[in-house]
Amino acid sequence: MAQLVPVESFDLIIFGGTGDLAIRKLLPALYHRDCDGQITDDSRIIAASRSAMTRKKYLADVEASLRSNLADNRFDESNWKKFKARVFYVPADAFEPNKWGALKKLLKGHDEKVRVAYLATAPSLFGPIADGMRSNGLVTDNSRIVLEKPVGRDLESACEINDAVGRSFAENQIYRIDHYLGKETVQNLLALRFANSLFEPLWRRSAIDHVQFTVAEDIGVGSRVGFYNGVGAIRDMVQNHLLQLVCLFAMEPPSSLDQNAVRDEKIKVLRALKPISVDDARANTVRGQYTEGSIKGETVPGFLDELEGEESSSETFVALKVEIENWRWSGVPFYLRTGKRLKAKHSEIVVQFHDVPHSIFPEQQYNVSPNLLRIKLQPDEGVRLSVMAKEPGPGGFDLRPVSLDLSFAETFGIRYPDAYERLLMDVLRGNPALFMRRDEVETAWQWIDGIIERWQVSKQKVESYAAGTWGPTGSSMLLDRDGRSWHQDD
Ligand code: BG6
């Protein structure tokens, strides 16, 4: 494992400190980093939210969460004792910055430390909280602000938020999080592409027939139904996670790992995405919504049942055929799909290479299938390359695809840190390479807004799919029309 170096002393203020993200993800991530000795003794984690709550009660909630959420019995009394000494709680209402006395008092005299405001709140609070930090004199030269996704719900609202936060923080102090970029296997995409010379000559239209991106979830929207309705999968998953995967996959080699070198290459991909026209929208996009079905033998309700009878045309599934208009990728379709209540939690990128240009194995007799490179993101992270091989035996040629399989869990045999562990440490170290720059977020929204607008113009309906399947029929048809199919093991 890479050597872990403690980060500089910090004060991390988590606005939305009692929320699900803070309790289920951020505090456990910080606890892990503390256990590994990355947090110095004088660093503090200050949870802030509207509720008037005692520190004791807050710590009890955090402890309960750690006890139930930490895998592999990583909860340990002595580590907890050390960790809880760093955790504080203050009430602070975003809309009443003149009442942030407790926070100001806690921060007084600590201006020299790295100060991070993590906004684990609704995006409508980003501007007011940034303003509150400034009006209370809490923004120091060493301050950073972290914005959770979604940054807005379209280009216009994203610009408003970016402008509002930009009034108090400089762009290099703003960290827009997409937790997919903190996933080990997503970062491995960079290692696979740029630490191996094998793939680079093949990473282009001359060798690749098409690429498939799948981010499938078996969970439904559950308690987030209020947020999700009206947002849908295109805003929740495609605008950020899927497009970020496409960028890392398709970008030109950056000159270094420097924050701007990587982000400059990513934005070129976003700018090269072919806008989807009204006609294209019908042919190249699919919207779906789950109905009641069964997952792992259990009956689960449909999306409209979760909305308790309310009508909704929000999509819980999207599939898109995307083109990147540049020399490297011209003519190579990128098929993207994501959805809730699908058959399994399963995310991967599948690269299908071209057929051999001339087969010496006649088609009627031999089934030569194209090579596939599967980059498995979750679960069972790894890389699998399928190649054709001859089955052993003296009776002539029998061909079949075999896999060169690399399982990261077996190879490295360690716990995979959660994405937030990596990203929080990057914020504290002041390394924004894995965060989205303003222009990236806005360019991604511009392209997504185009699709949503076309859907509205063409009144594109959501197709139903039963929970526990791989999505609506339209999703298979999208590839079928091109003589292709989704690669999935079922
Ligand atoms: C979030 C989305 O950003 O990512 C959720 O808002 C989704 O709807 C989640 O469930 C998926 O993340 P992961 O890490 O479980 O793949």
Residues written for the chain: 490
The predicted-structure confidence for 40-61, as pLDDT tens digits, reads as follows 999 999 999 999 999 999 999 9
* CATH number of residue 141's parent domain: 3.40.50.720
Rounded to whole angstroms, the maximal C-alpha distance in the chain is: 85
Q: Is 192 found in the same domain as 314?
A: yes
* Distance between first and last Cα of the chain: 35
Q: What is the mean pLDDT of residues 386-391?
A: 90
Residues having CB within 6 Å of any atom of ligand 1: 149, 217, 236
Q: Is 129 found in the same domain as 234?
A: no
Q: Is 189 found in the same domain as 140?
A: no
Q: Is 76 found in the same domain as 210?
A: no
From 99, 126, 148, the end of a domain falls on: 148
Q: Is 222 found in the same domain as 78?
A: no
Between these two residues, 359 and 264, which has the higher pLDDT value? 264
User: Ligand 1 centre and the CA of 419: distance in Å?
Assistant: 11
Residue 5 lies in a domain: no
DSSP state of 322: E
List, as own/partner pairs, every contact residues 307-315 make where C-beta atoms lie below 8 angstroms and the sequence separation is at least 24, other chains included: 307/225, 307/229, 310/229, 312/229, 312/230, 313/289, 313/461, 313/462, 314/228, 314/229, 314/230, 314/231, 314/232, 314/289, 314/462, 315/232, 315/233, 315/234, 315/287, 315/288, 315/289, 315/462
The predicted-structure confidence for 150-176, as pLDDT tens digits, reads as follows 899 999 999 999 999 999 999 999 999
Rounding to the nearest 10 degrees, give the CA dihedral for residues 337, 341, 345, 350.
-20
Residue 428 lies in a domain: no
From 88, 123, 148, the end of a domain falls on: 148
Residue 154 lies in a domain: no
Give the separation between CA 67 and CA 77, rounded to whole angstroms: 10
Q: Single out the residue of 160, 191, 240, 166 nearest to residue 441, CA to CA.
A: 240
Q: What is the pLDDT of residue 72?
A: 67
Q: Single out the residue of 347, 384, 385, 24 nearest to residue 184, CA to CA.
A: 347
| CA 170 to each of CA 19, 123, 437, 440, 459: distance values in angstroms, whole numbers, following the listed order | 27, 18, 12, 16, 41
User: Ligand 1 centre and the CA of 218: distance in Å?
Assistant: 11
The predicted-structure confidence for 209-224, as pLDDT tens digits, reads as follows 999 999 999 999 988 8
Residue 156 lies in a domain: no
Burial class (CB in 10 A: 0-12, 13-18, 19+), 206: exposed
| CA 167 to each of CA 68, 142, 161, 176, 444: distance values in angstroms, whole numbers, following the listed order | 40, 16, 10, 16, 22
| Residue numbers of the domain that contains 104 | 10-148
Q: Is 302 found in the same domain as 207?
A: yes
| Amino acid, res. 137 | G
| Ligand 1 atom 13 nearest Cα | 180
Q: Is 268 found in the same domain as 363?
A: yes
CA 489 to chain centre: 23
Angle between helix 184-194 and 419-429 (nearest 10): 70
Confidence of residue 81 (pLDDT cuts 50, 70, 90): very high
User: Ligand 1 centre and the CA of 237: distance in Å?
Assistant: 7
Residue 451 CB coordination number (10 Å): 23
Residue 79 lies in a domain: yes
Q: What is the pLDDT of residue 47?
A: 98
Give the separation between CA 238 and CA 213, rounded to whole angstroms: 11
Q: Is 218 found in the same domain as 118?
A: no
**In the block, which residue shows the tokens 């270094």?**
256
| Ligand 1 atom 14 nearest Cα | 180
Among 241, 354, 358, 487, the active-site one is 241
Q: Single out the residue of 148, 152, 175, 150 nearest to residue 26, CA to CA.
A: 148
Residue 239 lies in a domain: yes
Give the separation between CA 21 and CA 96, rounded to whole angstroms: 23
Q: Can you give the pTM of this predicted structure?
A: 0.94
Q: Is 120 found in the same domain as 237?
A: no
Structure tokens at 308: 């308790």
**Would residue 241 show up in a list of annotated catalytic residues for this protein?**
yes
Residue 14 has pLDDT above 90, yes or no: yes
The predicted-structure confidence for 394-419, as pLDDT tens digits, reads as follows 877 888 889 988 877 777 777 778 89
The predicted-structure confidence for 237-257, as pLDDT tens digits, reads as follows 999 999 999 999 999 999 999
Query: Mean pLDDT score of the chain, rounded to an integer?
Result: 93
Q: Is 400 found in the same domain as 288?
A: yes
Q: Is 306 found in the same domain as 236?
A: yes
- Residue 203 CB partners (closer than 8 Å, separation 6+): 193, 328
Residue 3 lies in a domain: no
Residue 474 has pLDDT above 90, yes or no: yes
Confidence of residue 268 (pLDDT cuts 50, 70, 90): very high
Rounding to the nearest 10 degrees, give the CA dihedral for residues 308, 309, 311, 312.
30
- Please state the atom number of ligand 1 nearest to the C-alpha of residue 221: 8
Residue 351 has pLDDT above 90, yes or no: yes
Q: Count of domains in the chain? A: 2
Mutation pick for ligand 1 pocket among 148, 236, 441 (CB with most ligand atoms within 8 Å): 236
From 106, 126, 148, the end of a domain falls on: 148
Q: Are strands 382-390 and 372-378 parallel, antiparallel or unpaired?
A: antiparallel
Q: Is 456 found in the same domain as 399?
A: yes
Residue 113 lies in a domain: yes
| Cα atoms in the Cβ-side hemisphere of radius 13 Å centred on 145 | 30
* CATH number of residue 330's parent domain: 3.30.360.10
Phi, psi torsion values for 450, nearest 5 degrees:
-60, -45
| Ligand 1 atom 8 nearest Cα | 236
Q: What is the pLDDT of residue 2?
A: 62
- Please state the atom number of ligand 1 nearest to the C-alpha of residue 236: 6
- Please state the atom number of ligand 1 nearest to the C-alpha of residue 228: 8
Q: What is the mean pLDDT of residues 62-75?
A: 84
